Amino acid sequence: AGIMIIVVVHTFKWFSLGMLLAAILPEGLRQKMGPKFQRKVPRVEVFVIFLVTILSNFPKGTNIAYAVGAGLAVCAINYSWNSSKTLEVQESYGEDGVKYYDVEGPLFFGASNRLFKMMKPETDPDKVDVRFSGTTSIMDYSAMEVLHKITAEYQAKGKTITFHSLCPNSQRLMVKANRLVKNVEYTSRDVEVQDIDETLPSPRHGSDMVG
């Protein structure tokens, strides 16, 4: 027993206790307590540490497998939440009166509704182009459903909207979901994404991609 205690004392990272405490304390209090409390881990990771530790022993019937599964679920939710906030949309107008929406960031269930709320079919001109950046890709069914809803909103008002520069993976998803996105006009991305202001290829409908 004495040997095990010595091993624990010399192998445990005691400084990590300060980092855990710093994660719980508010920023103002950390600054007053000195530089040792400036190092901290994200609070969600502290929560996961305690969650896994508790679920490994309580309630009765749980074990390390359940605890790790719960920790992974919390981390996945946190990652999705943070990724949804990386979506950025910039608006601009061309000389020909076309309105452009430049989209940067992943489109998935956590971010696609944000894109839908940023669109303005009521006040936009008759022609709208949505241009995806090199970091933008359609990642799931929810994103395709939102593209369909956006298209339907504009078409109901007699306006046209085209989604430009879809990556190959996004195109494959669109093809597989052809029944849902058959009215969506989009163009493919070149092998190398260049200046977004370059001439855009002619659009195609989802129904044109059936093969």
Read off the pLDDT of residues 187-199 as tens digits, 9 standing for 90 and up.
Answer: 987 644 444 444 4
Position 205 pLDDT exceeds 80: no
Beta strand segments in the chain, E: 88-93, 99-104, 127-132, 160-166, 185-188, 204-205
Percent above pLDDT 70 for the chain: 89
The DSSP call for residue 145 is H
pLDDT band per the 50, 70, 90 thresholds, residue 41:
confident
63 Cβ contact list (under 8 Å, min separation 6): 56
Per-residue pLDDT at 190: 64
Residue with the larger pLDDT of the pair 163 and 179: 163
* Mean pLDDT within 16-29: 80
DSSP label at residue 124: S
pLDDT digits (tens, 9 = 90+) for 127-152: 999 999 988 999 999 999 999 999 99
Torsion sign over Cα 207, 189, 146, 169: positive
Percent of the chain that is helix, strand, coil (3-state, to 5): 50, 15, 35
pLDDT at res. 54: 92
Q: How many residues does the chain have?
A: 211
In this prediction, residue 52 carries a pLDDT of 93
Residue 68 pLDDT more than 90?
A: yes
Q: Which of 47, 68, 44 is nearest to 56 (CA)?
A: 68
Q: Is 63 exposed, middle or buried (CB count within 10 Å of its CB: 0-12, 13-18, 19+)? A: exposed
Q: Range with the lowest mean pLDDT among 77-86, 158-167, 184-193, 196-205?
A: 196-205
Closest to 100 measured CA to CA, from 208, 198, 207, 194: 198
